[in-house]
Structure 1
Amino acid sequence: MAINNVPLSEKSREFLEELRVYLFSSGKKEDEIDEIVEELEVHLLEAEEQGKPIEKVVGDSPKAYMEQLSSVMDIDTKTWFKYALIIILGSFSFKIIGDLLRGELSYSILAIIGHIVISGMFILGLFGAFRYISARQVSNVKQFFTLAIVGGAPFLLFFGLIFLDRSVETPVFHFGQIGSIIIGVLTLLFVAAISIWSKSWVIPIILALLYLPELILNQTGLEKTTVITVSLFITYGGLAVYLIFVNKKLNRE
């Protein structure tokens, strides 16, 4: 967008992007976010046309400005619940598909509750990290470590849950062959529906990279150690190639 052919400066564009992320991760309604960002964009363009810096519009503290805007906006509880449910069910789908490839499904109450709690903590941590990064001028290195901590913590917690589940006895639900098949089909339908809705095949691709290599290599007659080593190499190598591809695509756009 431009007024009198004067393009918005890079600093202003970055601020608008960070504001959008901050408000979204604060649970605000998307249509309200769009309205505020578009209105602010006009004010920034007018200020820049007059030679005024961005601080004349948003003040000296971007964080304080974002917090002030957020405080007067309603939280979109329905959308928050929808995304939370998608993330929790999505994390369950990874576990269910992996367990199905190893046999019938059976989960203890501790495992189910623990999985929901850890997924909820991940959601809160992720949105908190986005608010922290977007409201401050954080270096790329600090951004990486912040997101790495938020993304890595659930894996450690899930490993801890596995050991806790083995040492603490709670009632176990055995779904049997038919129940496992039904849950598996529902899980695949959920993954397909989410992929179509989000217009992204990232979940099926990650699932395929995680489980297909080991599944295929198990049919070759190779030793278990060799299967695990080669499958891990294919999985992480494939994920690296995919992330590089996505990064290049985003840069082109």
Structure 2
Amino acid sequence: MPGGPSGSAPVTFSERAVEVITARKSVEAGIRSEGDEVSAHPIRSNYFDLAMIFDYWGPQRLNHHTEATSMLYGARECARLIVDEGVDQVVARHALHGGAMLRGLEGLGLTIFGDTAHKMNNVTAVMIPDGIDGDAARGAMLNDFGIEIGTSFGPLHGKVWRIGTMGYNARRDTVLTTLAALEAVLRRGGVSVTGGGEWAPPTTSMQTRTPRQQPRQQPQPQPQPRPQTRTSRPKGPAHERRQAPGHRPPDPRALRRPRRRVIERHRHRARLPLA
């Protein structure tokens, strides 16, 4: 369920699957009543005991786990959004933006992990470039741009990022902003990428022509400062911190949005239509 709460998903079972599962049904001793099944070969894993799940959602309502009601509300809302948009439209939207993310990452010169012929639409796995600390780069994406990309586990940890385009994030603006932010982080780490920031309009003859001399401007009289008539407010601790020796104000460039021309270059390469 793209964009839905983790841990919940609709599932169906064929009649044959139900027969196989219920053949090994065995009710736990603590909740067992007279006449309940006891199997000689029960399902050993409580987590995968689907026979108990059937009873949990069935008329007996036998306890298997304590369900989180907020997760059920979230799953219902996710289903409502899919029905409102239309299943075919949801699938097409994820295919469009998942493909755009794939082409955008390839356009940056990055290597896609796995066989793209069997790639899911809602996530793209990409190899972390040599010389880049994968976790540090993820931290920079989150802290500087408010964008979270996934890591990998086991032998792929530190080698592969997972970038999602699912649910609410399967949108044109999120794909392009993610590509531009990733480009900035990689450039900061010293990676040579073929990014949107490298594009510039060709130099025209107008730009190379020697500019004409402009007529000398006569100096304008400077206006006299007006006397201050307002009473200044008392200066508090914040003012004292700003005036303290060694104080450095936050750098506004740290959270700046990618430039429009960088975004537009990524849009063209990802083959996303105009809004």
TM-score normalised to the size of structure 1? 0.21
Q: Which protein shows a greater Rg?
A: 2
TM-score normalised to the size of structure 2? 0.20
